[in-house]
């Protein structure tokens, strides 16, 4: 059943439920946000079989070849 808050706006059941749970205080909000993000990361990782790519140091964009003459000039 909808009720009215102090400003006269309708407060839905969903809004009241959120205020009494996730938005009850900053600690519940913080835990809910962090939990939601971690769950999404875990589920997405399992669904897409995510793999680490930080070891990919090979440059996929260009390669460098220094000519012998330039190398000699530098030395």
Partner 1 sequence: MSDSSIVTLAARRWRGLLMREIRENRSLMLYAPCLLVLVAILLGLRLFTLFSLERQTAAMDLLFNRFEGINALELAPLLTSAGALNLVFIVGIALSYLATSLYSDRRELSYFFWQSMPISDRATVMSKVATSVLVIPAIYLAILTLGSMILFISAAVYSFSLGVELNGLVELVSTMSIALGFIGLSAVTAMLWLLPAVGWILLFSAYATRVPLLWAIGGLVALSLLEEVVLSSNTIDTWIASRSSPWQYLVFSIDDLGARLFSYDMLFGAVLGGILISGAILMRRFAD
Residues binding partner 1 (CB under 8 A): 23, 25-26, 29-30, 32-34, 36-38, 40-42, 44-46, 50-54, 56-57, 59-62, 64, 70, 73-74
Residue closer to partner 1, measured from CB, 1 or 12: 12
Residue closer to partner 1, measured from CB, 1 or 72: 72
Q: Is 16 exposed, middle or buried (0-12, 13-18, 19+ CB in 10 A)?
A: middle
Question: Nearest approach, Cβ of 75 to partner 1 (angstroms)?
Answer: 9
Distances (CA, A) of 39 to 27, 49, 51, 62, 68: 18, 15, 17, 38, 55
Residue 11, beta-bridge partner list: 3
Residue closer to partner 1, measured from CB, 20 or 30: 30
């Amino acid at each position: 059943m909808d009720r009215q808050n102090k400003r006269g706006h309708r407060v839905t059941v969903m809004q009241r439920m959120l205020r009494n749970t996730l938005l009850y205080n900053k600690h519940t909000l913080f835990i809910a946000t962090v939990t939601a993000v971690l769950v999404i990361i875990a589920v997405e990782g399992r669904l897409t079989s995510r793999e680490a790519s930080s070891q990919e140091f090979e440059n996929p964009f260009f390669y460098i070849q220094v000519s012998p003459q330039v190398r000699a000039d530098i030395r």
